[in-house]
A and B are shown apart, each in its own frame.
Chain A
């Protein structure tokens, strides 16, 4: 029996799952003066079937759980939980500075979990970093 819940397995037609290049200017492609020539070509094709699914995995999982919670307990329950999660995004440091996201982890239960996100490609060992002014301008929408 299917309740039409959003699935964890990725469906291409869902909004969050389509690989759209962000920050488009004219003609739906990134501005070459900002992003560099040839920046769009890499984004169009999907390199691996899991790429899209992994990018939005936690979002999709959250959506599925909230949909089930709404069906069981009514609209108030997911609203309360989403509100608390939204609070955790508002506190914290500027976009350039590293943030532990501890409150978000505690609310989602991921502080008790060890997954591939803690072993592979951890932010502390990253070799590239953006310029702080540019990062803040991007987060404010100026760049």
Chain B
């Protein structure tokens, strides 16, 4: 199909050009580096006036903590937020893509978008990529028909529940919910319950840690994103100073090489004229 005059152009979207090369390299003993996973505890509950979402803030790369304070609650729309577990880049890009699609939908219809639309868009995208996009999400929001919590798995299946947990710390958090969740809780009770569930994940699961983030979405009024609601793991203070006083190591020889500035020239760069581009596909 390709020839020297007609190089094969790949279609817009994902390009699989390097997959063969990667497989060959792995076969020869050079595996690809592992993606940063979130190894997480994410939860969501429905309470009397809306939904509360909670997440921890640790991102891991196999056994090393790569980010001590990452944001796992992503913005989708003014009335919806989404917590993401799994591969960090996948959750970030998936939620950003769906957020832009929801904004287009809102502009097209002129109404607030129902939470079910977001869950349908997410599950269609995840099913299309057959689980290769490793994003496990807890979607929570409020629309005209009330508060909703959806649990979306990487292969594209969706559960609609009054309370949901995902991630490696989901069992610890679910234990807290199963014993203490009840319908129509007040906001204070709900926040305490979510905080306790995330703390259970933080202290009992190695993949979760650092702080607790909360997001409260009420029936009316703006959503409240409480970044670092509680710092569950505070780093200890050092007891004394471990610095050496200057002069501890004796200086034997000093050599100074000054850098002489020969000339200074300033060049003005004009911005290029770029035409607006048409839509593609």
Contact = CB atoms under 8 A, between A and B. Distances in A.
B13 A117 contact: yes
Nearest to B129: A50
Given A47-B20, A134-B3, A8 B127 contact: yes
Nearest to A42: B20
Contacts of A143: 3, 5-6
Contacts of B277: 124
B137 to A, nearest CB: 18
Interface string A42-55: 11010111110111
A30 B6 CA distance: 13
Interface string A62-84: 00000000000000000000000
A50 B14 contact: yes
Contact of B15 (A30, A115, A121): A121
Nearest to A45: B20
Given A45-B20, A114-B100, A115-B97, A121 B129 contact: no
Interface stretch (B72-80, B101-109, B169-177): B101-109
B281 A120 contact: no
A87 to B, nearest CB: 17
B279 A100 contact: yes
A54 B5 contact: no
Given A8-B127, A50-B14, A50-B129, A114 B97 contact: yes
B4 interface: yes
Interface residues of B, number: 35
Nearest to A101: B281
Contact of A128 (B1, B7, B281): B7
A110 B12 contact: no
Contacts of A134: 3, 5-6
Nearest to A20: B1
A35 B12 contact: no
B278 A135 contact: no
Quick one: which of B15, B108, B128 has the most chain A CB within 10 A? B128
B11 A55 contact: yes
A130 interface: yes
A114 B16 contact: no
Nearest to A110: B281
A23 B38 CA distance: 46
Contact of A101 (B7, B108, B128, B280): B280
Contacts of A123: 12, 280
B128 A122 contact: no
A112 interface: yes
Nearest to B17: A47
Nearest to B107: A112
Contacts of A112: 104-105, 108
Contacts of B5: 130-131, 134, 143
Contacts of B1: 21-23, 30, 35, 39, 43
A8 B128 CA distance: 8
B23 interface: yes
Contact of B280 (A34, A35, A100): A100
Interface of B: 1-7, 9-16, 19-20, 23, 97, 100-101, 104-105, 108, 125, 127-130, 132, 277-281
Given A36-B3, A113-B104, A131-B5, 5 more contacts: A9-B127, A57-B128, A100-B280, A111-B279, A115-B125
Interface of A: 8-9, 21-23, 30, 34-36, 39, 42-43, 45, 47-51, 53-55, 57, 98, 100-102, 104-105, 110-124, 126, 128-131, 134-135, 138, 143
Q: Enumerate the 8 nearest inter-chain pairs by beta-carbon distance, A residue then B residue, closest first.
A: A47-B19, A134-B5, A117-B13, A100-B278, A48-B19, A117-B12, A47-B20, A130-B6
16 contacts: A8-B128, A9-B127, A22-B1, A36-B4, A47-B23, A50-B14, A98-B278, A101-B280, A101-B281, A104-B281, A117-B11, A117-B13, A120-B12, A128-B9, A129-B7, A130-B5
